[in-house]
Amino acid sequence: MEIITGNKPFAGLDAYVKNVGKGKNRIHGSPKEAPKGSLSEDKVALSPEAKQIQEAKKRLDALPDVREEKVAEIKGQIEAGTYTIDGEKIAFKMIRESILDALS
């Protein structure tokens, strides 16, 4: 059994998943009937952390790319002339982001 770890735990998993089922009984690229008991099935066991990452990825993929309600709200404020920009808040976030980038 192989344990998948590191910064990209799904790097090799995608290629593996794409090929599962395509060649269960293939030996050296040609379809052959394998004698019973001669081939074992590949199995993947994910750590609890990898399962959490997988679940988080599914949830992120389900989110829309654009938050339509937020865009509509800001457009309405701009059209009404009530949209204001907080320069201090923007500066704080820029500095915070810069510090976080430098630390990573």
Per-residue pLDDT in tens (0 to 9) along the chain, 104 residues? 555 555 666 666 666 666 655 555 455 555 555 556 567 788 888 899 999 999 999 999 998 889 999 999 999 999 999 999 999 999 999 999 999 999 98
Same domain, 23 and 74: no
Rounded to whole angstroms, the Cα distance separating 31 from 102 reads: 53
Same domain, 15 and 32: yes
Q: Give the number of C-alpha atoms closer than 13 A to the C-alpha of residue 82, restricted to the C-beta side.
A: 6
Same domain, 74 and 95: yes
Rounded to whole angstroms, the Cα distance separating 13 from 41 reads: 16
Same domain, 71 and 55: no
Single pTM value for the model: 0.35
Same domain, 59 and 32: yes
Nearest CA among 48, 41, 60, 51 for reference residue 10: 51
Same domain, 51 and 101: no
Parent domain of 79: 66-104
For CA atoms 52, 54, 58, 63, give the dihedral sign.
Answer: positive
* Domains in the chain, number: 2
Same domain, 83 and 57: no
Nearest CA among 12, 11, 104, 10 for reference residue 53: 10
